[in-house]
Every structure is written in structure tokens, then in C-alpha cells.
Amino acid sequence: MNIITKIKFSCLQLVTVMTLSGIILSSANSCVEDVDYTVENEGTIYMAQALESKSYLQLFDIDTIQDIFFGASYGGIKYPDIDINVKFTVDESLINAYNQEHGTNYIAFPQASYNISGLESVIKAGTANSDPIKVMITARQLQIGKSYMLPVKLVSAGSSNIKDDLNTAYFRIDSLIRRERDITNLGAFSVSHENNGGPGAGEGSPKLVDNNLGTKYLTQGYAPGMWFQVKYNTPQVIGAYTFTSGNDASERDPKTWRFEASNDGNTWTVLDNKVEYFFSDRNQTKRFETTNTTPYTHYRVTVVSNNGSNLFQMTEWRLIQYY
């Protein structure tokens, strides 16, 4: 009497042919079996831009329109069988709660600073992501130094569930980025009071603009009203400047000064004025912003007073242009 037994385990099919007296034939055949895998939140709709790292923006202070995008995604490893209509809203009321939770001070993007291509899209059947929605930002409508936020919330996804912790993208910037370049050495530098050893001395006036924080300019004959300046061949717009204090003797530091500009070297416009200013450390670099938008050929600093010494010193002076 022959007995035939089939044993199935997982996807490997073993066939063994046996007789009463023992095994006379055995074989093994592989087979392929469909397995229906699922993951947590399969089919849940979410915003990828709701992740913190994807909603932090870098916007430049330029005239060109800058674009950002958002949309909805289908969670899991499958694709939807039907189109899923998704809807969004801009909800500025969420900003206060975000600030309280994170200790921040964001304010809403002004409505004049952005335009959204729409607030509805579709995750098409067989795809994982909706068509992107574009936000066009006009950075010139924003103010330097302010922190802005644009909360975009996914509010509807047809009959699909929305993932609660990934339903809002908090698009935000801490400040506009201003492209800048140092143009100090594009002009001719001069001073009213030179070092006693001349410009070629170890602490001669060219050390003030050599872009080296290991050197300094010192003049032994300080007098109120002394100045140093840069003259350009063509007018330039300077938006900021920096001072770096000397390496010693704080009494030689400038205390009160004017940052001025001219197009003829005779008539001067005050762009910045500092009174009783104090450098708290040696070789300390301080940056001073201006609101100037006018191009000039001459830029100078007039030192009204220092901290009481008959010497004046400074490590570095740089002129910054935004573009």
C-alpha cells in the first residue's frame, strides 16, 4: 500500500512519496505566494511640509519672487484606488499657540507679501502625492529682523483620515537673508591723521583696512574731528559698516562718531551717528546698519571723541554692500 503525504510550510512546498517499507522518492518545489502587507497609518493623509525641518524657510532680501510649495501625501506603502480631493486653509490663529509652545515671537506674513496658487489639490489614483500648490513670496514686503510665519493646515481629504500631528505646515523665517559683499578695498583709502611713522609703519593707517584682525591703525596725534574715508570711482550704496576695537588701551577707542557720505567730498550726509558708544572687549567687532539706499562716491567716519586718550586706535573698518 502506498501512502502519499504533502506538507506545506510558508512558501516552500515539500512532496514526499512513501511506502510501507520506506521512502522511495522525495522532491522540493518553490512557490510564490502573494502577501498583503500593511503598515501603521496606511492610507492616512498628511503634509510632508509639516515636518519641522521642511517648513523652515530661507528667504533673501531681493526683488525676485521666491516660491515655496506644499501639498498632501498618501501614507503607507500602497496607493489610493481613487482620486482624493484635498483642501487647505491659511490659519493665522495658530501662530499664538505656536509661539507660546516654542517661546518664539513669529508674526503673520503680511497678506501683500504672498500669493497662493490655490488651496485645493488632488492625490490622483495610483499616486502618493497631490499636485503641488505654490506660494509666491515678495520679500520686499517683509522687514529685516522680523520673524514671520505662514501656517497652512490640511482641513479635508475626502473620506480619508488626516494624520493629526502632520496636518499643519508652519512655514517660517527668523529673518530675511541679505546678500552682502565687502567692498572696502574697491576704493582709495585716506586719513586726516597718520601714524608718526607714516603709512608704511607697523601701525600705519593702511592697517585699518587690511582685513587682518592681527594688525591695527594708531595715530599719536588724535584731535576731535579726525576722519578716515574711502573714495570710489563710481557711486556705491553702503548698507552697513563694522568697527573692530584695538587690542589694548580702551581709552583710545572711538566713543562718539558720525558715519557720513558725499558725492563731491565737500557736502556730507550723515548716515549713522553714535554717541557715548562703548566697546566691552578688545578686538571686538561691532556691526552698524544704515537705512541708506543712495549711491555715493565718498564714505567717511568723523571721530568726534574717544575715551580720553591723546592717541586713537582701531583694528579694522569694513564697508558692506547689500545686493
Kindly write down the DSSP assignment for every residue of 179-231, as one continuous string.
PEEE-GGGSEEEESS--TT-TTSTT-GGGGGSS-TT--EEESS--TTEEEEEE
Question: What's the burial of 165, exposed, middle or buried (CB within 10 Å: 0-12/13-18/19+)?
Answer: exposed
Instruction: Find where cell 515636518 sits.
Output: 51
d(CA 298, CA 262): 5
**pLDDT, position 27:** 46
**CATH class of the domain at 181-322:** mainly beta
Question: Which residues, including other chains, have CB under 8 Å from residue 228's CB and lie 6 or more apart?
Answer: 189, 190, 191, 192, 205, 208, 217, 300, 301, 317
Are 72 and 121 in contact by the 8 Å Cβ rule? The answer is yes
Question: Which residues, including other chains, have CB under 8 Å from residue 281's CB and lie 6 or more apart?
Answer: 245
Domain boundaries, the chain: 1-35, 45-173, 181-322
Are 60 and 176 in contact by the 8 Å Cβ rule? The answer is yes
H or E segment and range at residue 96: helix 94-102
Are 230 and 265 in contact by the 8 Å Cβ rule? The answer is no
d(CA 260, CA 181): 20
d(CA 231, CA 263): 9
**pLDDT, position 93:** 97
Amino acid at 292: N
Are 217 and 313 in contact by the 8 Å Cβ rule? The answer is yes
Which long-range contacts link 21-24 to residues 24+ away (Cβ below 8 Å)? none
**pLDDT, position 53:** 87
Amino acid at 110: P
Amino acid at 178: R
d(CA 181, CA 238): 10
Question: What's the burial of 290, exposed, middle or buried (CB within 10 Å: 0-12/13-18/19+)?
Answer: middle
With a threshold of 0.85, does the pTM exceed it?
Answer: no
Amino acid at 127: T
Per the structure block, which three cell numbers stand in for 7? 506538507
Per the structure block, which three cell numbers stand in for 42? 496606511
Q: Which residues pair with 241 in a beta bridge?
A: 288, 319
**pLDDT, position 251:** 97
Amino acid at 285: T
**DSSP label at 154?**
E
Q: Residues 91, 92, 93, 94: is their CA dihedral positive or negative?
A: positive
* Equal CATH topology for 45-173 and 181-322: no
**What topology does CATH give the domain 45-173?**
Immunoglobulin-like (2.60.40)
List, for the chain, all residue ranges whose pLDDT scores fall below the cut of 70. Answer: 1-39
Backbone φ and ψ of 38, nearest 5°:
-140, 155
